[in-house]
Amino acid sequence: MRFDLVDLQLFIAVAEARSITGGADRAHLALASASARIKGLEAALGTALVKRGRRGIELTAAGESLLDHARIILHHVDAMRGDLAAYAGGTRATIRLLTNTSGLSEYLPKTLAVFLGLHPHLSIDVEERESADIAQAIVSGTADLGLAAEHALPDTIERIAFSDDRLVLVAARGDQLAKRRQVDFHEVTGRDFIGLTAANALHAHVAGHAARLGARLRFRARLNNFHSIGQMVAAGIGIAVMPEVAARRCAESMRIGLVRIRDPWASRKLVICARSFKALPRPAQQLVEHLRKVAQH
């Protein structure tokens, strides 16, 4: 069974374009060459990978399986290239970590600083995404490691408990809402909100749940950190949704109150996640072990 990276890149392009012609264009190959390579893959594997039709192609079950593996292989090849290129800059390897907003703003900065201090020849690229996007990236093999809300993960993803990550409402202390212990989110969707910027993963998460209630949240201001949001809330400009750990930190110096959100989506558990922890590159395994120790204290 012999095929090369060009075959895999072509197959991904064909699968995404749902067309051998379109895939050939994306892979910068002549149509005849692309068609021959696909047939060669099928011959090497001993099974059909695509069903050809007038409107393009559809993947067979074997084709779907190959697509999954091809994406993983090319992801690891890209990671290898990046790690080897890093030698020229004196860095041995780069760990790529996807995280939701809570992880990025509340847990990772100090934790990663300690880790990098202990491992001077490693570097970390952190990208913020919604937990559902993190799960999809790990399942598809385009990411190795994530820090995400557990409820968004399918059973096929391995996970290690990291922290509780409850979301709460915050309101100015003079607001009647601040006197309540808990609230259903539909009760407040008509209020003015202070939120994170539209590109932020937590903003998309909260706005999505509001949309499921048939509401579109009205934002008086959008800022890029919870401290600034807390100041706006304390001034009575609007209410906000933020991680409880961030809200309690803000409440130490601001006149705001915390209100529990009864909706299930607000009670989250943050977990470290991967397709397989044993299959991770050694540097990523070292980071997982560090995060595991942090989670235990």
Write the CA distances from 193 to 169, 180, 190, 272, 295, integer angstroms: 10, 18, 9, 31, 32
Give the position of tokens 């934002």: 219
- What residue type is assigned to position 29 of the chain? L
**CATH topology for 167-266?**
D-Maltodextrin-Binding Protein; domain 2 (3.40.190)
The domain 5-70 having CATH identifier 3.30.565.10: the answer here is: no
Instruction: Please provide residue 143's backbone torsions phi and psi, each rounded to the nearest 5 degrees.
Output: -145, 150
d(CA 250, CA 192): 19
How does pLDDT run across 102-114, given as a tens digit for each residue? 888 888 999 999 9
Domain limits, the chain: 5-70, 91-164+269-295, 167-266
Domain pair 91-164+269-295 / 167-266, same fold: yes
SS3 content of the chain, % helix, strand, coil (to 5): 50, 25, 25
Cα-to-chain-centroid distance, residue 24: 30
| 180-230 residue pLDDT tens | 999 999 999 999 999 988 777 888 889 999 999 999 999 999 998 999 999
**Which amino acid is residue 36, in one-letter code?**
A
Q: Are 178 and 257 in contact (CB under 8 A)?
A: yes
Report the SS3 class of residue 167: strand
Distance (Å, whole) CA 196 – CA 226 = 8
Using CA atoms, how far apart are residues 228 and 222, in angstroms rounded to an integer? 9
Q: Cα separations (Å) of 122 from 75, 93, 95, 103?
A: 19, 5, 7, 20
Instruction: Write down the pLDDT at residue 259.
Output: 97
**Predicted pLDDT at 76:** 76
Please tell me the pTM assigned to this model.
Answer: 0.62
Q: What is the pLDDT along the chain (297 residues), one digit of tens a residue?
A: 567 888 899 999 999 999 999 999 998 999 999 999 999 899 888 899 999 888 889 999 999 989 888 888 887 787 777 666 666 555 567 888 999 988 888 889 999 999 999 998 888 989 988 888 899 889 888 788 999 989 889 999 999 999 988 999 999 999 999 999 999 999 999 999 999 887 778 888 899 999 999 999 999 999 989 999 999 999 999 999 999 999 999 999 999 999 999 999 999 899 999 999 998 888 899 999 999 998 855
Residue with tokens 């008509």: 190
Q: Which pLDDT score is estimated for 281? A: 86
What distance in Å separates the CA atoms of residue 209 and residue 77, rounded to the nearest whole number?
37
- Give the pLDDT confidence score for residue 241 in this predicted structure: 96
91-164+269-295: CATH topology is D-Maltodextrin-Binding Protein; domain 2 (3.40.190)
